[in-house]
Structure 1
Amino acid sequence: MRFLVLFLILFAEKLNAQINSGARSMAMANAATALNDVYSLGSNQAGIASLKRSELAFAFQEHNYSTNVRSIAAFLVFPSNIGVFGLYANNYSLSQNFNELRTGLTLSRLLTSKLAISGTLNYNQLSISDYGINRTLSFDLGFQYRLSEDWVLGVHLNNPAAYVTVKKSSYNVPAQIRLGTSYVLSDQILLAIDSEYDLDDYFDFRFGLEYSIINRVNLRGGTSLLPFKQYMGAGIDFNKISVDAASSFHPQLGISSQLSLNYAF
């Protein structure tokens, strides 16, 4: 167990699963930079700018069975006269030994009928048994541009201040840039593509598809390159409630699964 905790200390900045963006996104290989739903609070907050109703959602993920690694996230959006506000909280933990908490307050709005922009202030807390607790603040910027009714481009900057500072602390939030696009191929098929970069020259490319069977039932799948993983999932939409499930398949670590529940009011 202590070896696993040490591994997380050294490599936690590479664990993209620390940011939970719901089962819909996960089933599409987390290619969510250009998607629009309440779960955009975990991927690209500009995606909530077009939401017209308040929504509350929860997500639970079991990472790689038998490792005791879990994440629990909550999402809340509420439109206002000045834009759409969002609240996000995610707790990523390994038993009682490793715990990372991230919360964020977002304001997202449409500057024009095609351009959405968002800003998010995050509170980050890392707790490791025998090592103590570290806290820091960070901020995100998000953009989405609608090229047409069916085609959306997205850009998300996670902690961009790290690109212009050399200050090091005991807890550094990684700086990442995500570029993505989504395109509605037909009334039933949505295609999403993402790429991600960070300061340490990490790169990933993701591809996801969503297929709507009868408007209320959706099948999803996707793949990512680094590491090479496959994803699949499904969702059911009721009048105000939607339930989504997803699984990912890592060649060494095995299966991870997630369940999300969303209520619009």
Structure 2
Amino acid sequence: MISPPGWMLKRPGILIPVFFLSLAHGPVLSQVQWPGTASAALGGSYVCMQGYMCTIQNQAGLGFIEQSSISIQHGRPYLLKELGISSISGQFISGKGALGLALSTMGLRGFRQSSLWLAYGLRLHPDISAGVGIHFWNSTITEQLIYAPGISFALGLQVRIQEHWQLGARLFHPATWSSQSDLSQENLMSIEAGFSYSFFKVARIYSELHIKPGAYFTLCSGIEWSLKQHARLRTGICSQPFTFSGGISLNFTKWIADFSFQYRADTGISPLTSLTHAW
């Protein structure tokens, strides 16, 4: 079997995506979570959202969903055809809450990462939902099926206040194990909290703060407009790294199609698309 270096020499063009992966070596091994298409369009805001990517975002959102659904999503970092991130997720109503499962994969030939989320969200009160998630990840390289595996957890909470306000919070990685001796900053505990507010019956703003104790913090904000009944426009910004984003959602009877992009100051444009079937 050809080793990764030998294979890359036979295809010099593959050095480009490998170079980008090397820049993010720490985050790659810790399985940084690629945002959901809707969240990406809102500058990375998600602690107050309910929807098809709650399983890997704020698990408390599963407690508020009203339909079961299955979704597929694809993102293309750096606009490179050799490198893509694909996800499939399912949210299934069960009792007063919902079960969530999400499987993601990213990489190229000779190096690939896989991520599995299992989550459950429970509505504790008509206006309060809590959720918990467990996250498994692994990297696969040539001739080694299991490389740099890890496991972590997440806890989430969402509260609706009156008709227009909603509060959300998530504790990400309160406990983490990785086969790597040194955890990257992306694998440290993260405390995330924010709010959303609806107005004029057609718009909603999102704002939240993500804090990694002892490391850094990030501010994410976004706004969503409803156009008639079947379309929504979204845009947002994020402070670190500076990110500008936008997107559109098209809602049909049992299908939802989302298209969005992110422009990051450090890596450029990344498009995302997703398709959801709900019943």
What's the TM-score, normalizing by structure 1? 0.89
Q: How much is the aligned-residue C-alpha RMSD, in angstroms?
A: 2.2
1:178-193 aligned within 5 A: 178-193=192-207
Query: Bigger CA drift: 179-188 or 233-242?
Result: 179-188
Counterpart-to-counterpart distance in 2, 1:251 and 1:50? 34
Residues 128/189 of structure 1: CA separation in 2 closer, same or farther (3 Å cut)? same
Distance 2:19 2:35 in 1: 28
> What is residue 7 of structure 1 aligned with on the other side?
23
Query: Aligned to 1:49, what secondary structure does the other structure show?
Result: helix
Identify the residue that residue 111 of structure 1 maps to in structure 2: 124
Secondary structure of 1:111 counterpart: strand
> Offset of 1:199 from its aligned partner?
4.2
Contact 2:75 2:270 in 1 (8 A): yes
Tell me if the contact between 2:127 and 2:160 (Cα under 8 Å) persists in the aligned partners.
yes
Query: Deviation string for 1:168-211 (max 9, x for gaps)?
Result: 74174432221121111221101011211224512111110111
What 5-or-longer segments of structure 1 have no aligned partner?
Answer: none
Residue 220 in structure 1 maps to residue 230 in structure 2: no
Do the aligned partners of residues 251 and 67 (structure 1) sit closer, same or farther apart at CA in structure 2, a change above 3 Å counting? farther
* Residue type at the aligned position of 2:116: T
Q: Which amino acid aligns with 1:118?
A: G
The one-letter amino acid paired with 1:28 is L
1:248 counterpart residue number = 262
Q: Deviations over 1:112-150 (max 9, x none)?
A: 122111111221112345886122222111111112222
1:38 counterpart (32, 39, 52) = 52
DSSP-derived class of the 2:53 partner:
helix
Q: 2:253 corresponds to which residue?
A: 239
Q: 1:81 to 1:219 in 2, by over 3 A?
A: same
- Secondary structure of 2:225's match? strand
| 1:260 match | 274
Counterpart pick for 1:75 among 81, 89, 102? 89
How far apart are residue 227 of structure 1 and its match?
A: 1.3
Secondary structure of the residue aligned to 1:24 is helix
Q: Find the residue that maps to 1:187 and give its secondary structure.
A: coil
1:157 aligns with 2:167: no
Q: Distance in 2 between matches of 1:118 and 1:179?
A: 14
Q: Is it true that 1:176 corresponds to 2:190 in the alignment?
A: yes
Could you tell me which runs of 5 or more consecutive residues in structure 2 were left unpaired when the two chains were aligned.
1-14
Partner SS for 1:38: coil
1:36-84 Cα deviation digits (max 9, x unpaired): 1122222101112111221111110001113733211111111112521
- Cα distance in structure 2, aligned partners of 1:96 and 1:220: 34
- 1:20, distance to aligned residue in structure 2 (A): 3.2
